[in-house]
Amino acid sequence: MNRKILAAGSIAAVAALALAGCSGSTDAGESADPDAPVTLTMSVWNLENTPEFKTLADAFSAEHPNITIELKEYDAAEYNTLVTADLAAGSGPDIITQKEVKYVTTFQEGGQLLDVSDVAVPKGIKGADSYKVDGVAYAIPYRQDSSVLFYNKALFDSAGVEYPDGSWTWDDYQAAAEKLTTGGVKGAYMHRWQSLVQGFANAQTDNSPLDGDYGHLADYYERALDMQSAGLQVDFNTSTANQLTYQGEFGTQKSAMMLMGTWYVATLIAQQASGDANEFEWGIAPAPQLDSKTAGTDKTPITYGDPTGFGINAGVDETKAAAAKEFLEFAASEEGAQALAAIGNTPAFTNDAIVETFFSVEGAPSDDLSKFAWSGTKVVAENPTSSKTAAIQGILGDLHTAIMSGSTSIDDAIKTAEDRVKNEVG
């Protein structure tokens, strides 16, 4: 059994223990005074490079001076396991940030998340369905990232290649990469994540990891292998052996294009300002499409992405629960979205004013295509909300490594994954 499945199993095992010891207790006798001081703890990660948590907490507390939110930082790599362990020990946070959708059901089945269906959210907010189990909401989205195409305008100009116009298919993308690969610069960089192949394949062919049939992945993997064998992008084994970072490959102009989540916008702006990334003009465009049916600014390009949300510890008392729900409502609101957009984050709720705020951040691109790529696409959930998702994604991660490393043929890796999902997950 692979490491990712073991990790998911460990989280589930610890979650079961939480039923015997959630943090806090319901006490209807606590003060009903709405202005009484309340302190909430909230689970977060990587505070130094993830300013959204403090931004939202400070903005909320400015409006609710009686409510203090203390940020409890966890290691990002082991976040879900560590939070679940604290919940089981009775020392879990009051607000549980949902870092990965594939673990929502682990928290929910462990009885660790409060029903937050009564929290008001703006009409049109994205990602809310990812937190619903049998129609009940167990978290509220505040961010909704999606995968877009980052491109370096200076390198396009140097190679005499026209910028993306929003109408690209994968054939157009590969053709541009061929022209841009010159003088030590790769046309593209594809990071090692399985989602950068499978996420697009699933979303653009209307398939789900839960289906158990993965033949639709073959064409997308064939293109990825063709591009790395032709030298248009760094090969998977080199990227793995050298632990290359997507920030370094694109930010220091080693590649002219890169498919990446919209979260990289804030990172690139900050790194160009600090000198960690080179100074160059860049933009974002919709991800390449399967065919012309969804390509173009007069259509709705399809991409993938998952929300990030806040849930509430089911063990908190009524006073804390009420205060935490106020915070969740604020984080999802237009005001919360404006606060996030102002620091280059992609909120779950957007409108024209929020788009303008986001692209008014110093260092952000200002062209219309970048704005369209950020707000005008259809975002399909990468991780369906299911207790099977984490285990299946672990198996599909093994498929990805086997194919991209060249250790297994595409057809054999797909067949192995299908068999494993049937036998190990059901």
Other beta carbons less than 10 A from residue 246's beta carbon: 22
Burial 7-41 (b: 16+ CB within 10 A, else e): bbeebbebbeebeeebbbeeeeeeeeeeeeebebb
Residues 6+ apart with CB under 8 A from 55: 339, 340, 343, 345
Q: pLDDT at position 32, please?
A: 56
d(CA 400, CA 398): 5
Domains 3-144+306-350 and 147-302+384-425 share a fold: yes
Q: Indicate if the pLDDT at residue 57 is higher than 90.
A: yes
From the list 118, 397, 151, 377, the residue with the least C-alpha distance to 264 is 151
**175-220, pLDDT tens digit by residue?**
999 999 999 999 999 999 999 999 999 999 999 999 999 999 999 9
CATH number for region 3-144+306-350:
3.40.190.10
Residue located via tokens 């209307």: 206
% of the chain at pLDDT higher than 70? 92
On average, the pLDDT of the chain sits at: 92
- When pLDDT is cut at 50, 70 and 90, the band that residue 48 belongs to is confident
d(CA 174, CA 194): 19
**319-362, pLDDT tens digit by residue?**
999 999 999 999 999 999 999 999 999 999 999 999 999 999 99
Q: Which CATH class is domain 147-302+384-425?
A: alpha beta
Which two three-digit tokens encode residue 136?
């009940």
CB distance 394 to 8 below 8 Å: yes
Compare 25 and 393 and report the one with higher pLDDT: 393
How is the chain split into domains, by residue range? 3-144+306-350, 147-302+384-425
